[in-house]
Amino acid sequence: MTSQVLNASTSQLFQPSPLVEVRASGVHGRGVYATQPIAKGTRIIEYTGTRILWEDVPENLDDPRTFLFGLDNGKDVIDPEIGGNESRWINHSCDPNCEAIEEDDERIFIDALRDLQPGEELFYDYQLEVDEPITSEVKEESRCCCGASNCRGTMLETK
Ligand SMILES: C[S@@+](CC[C@H](N)C(=O)[O-])C[C@H]1O[C@@H](n2cnc3c(N)ncnc32)[C@H](O)[C@@H]1O
Ligand SMILES: [Zn+2]
pLDDT tens for 100-122 read: 999 988 899 999 999 999 999 99
For residues 147 and 126, give the distance between their C-alpha atoms in angstroms, rounded to a whole number. Answer: 15
With 0-12 / 13-18 / 19 or more C-beta atoms within 10 angstroms meaning exposed / middle / buried, residue 1 is exposed
Distance from the alpha carbon of residue 141 to the mean position of ligand 2, in angstroms: 13
Distance from the alpha carbon of residue 93 to the mean position of ligand 2, in angstroms: 5
In order of start, what are the domains of the chain with their CATH numbers? 3-126 (2.170.270.10)
| Pairing, β 50-53 against β 123-124 | unpaired
Model confidence at 148, pLDDT cuts 50, 70, 90, reads: very high
Q: Is the CB of 64 under 6 A from ligand 1?
A: no
Find, among 25, 23, 44, 27, the residue nearest to 116 by Cα: 44
Beta-carbon neighbours within 5 Å of ion ligand 2? 94, 144, 146, 151
Instruction: Tell me if 100 sits within 8 A of 92, measured CB to CB.
Output: no
Distance from the alpha carbon of residue 17 to the mean position of ligand 2, in angstroms: 26
Model confidence at 138, pLDDT cuts 50, 70, 90, reads: confident
SS3 readout for 142-156? CECCCCCCCCCCECE
Nearest CA to ligand 1 atom 3: 89
Q: Between 17 and 85, whose confidence is greater?
A: 85
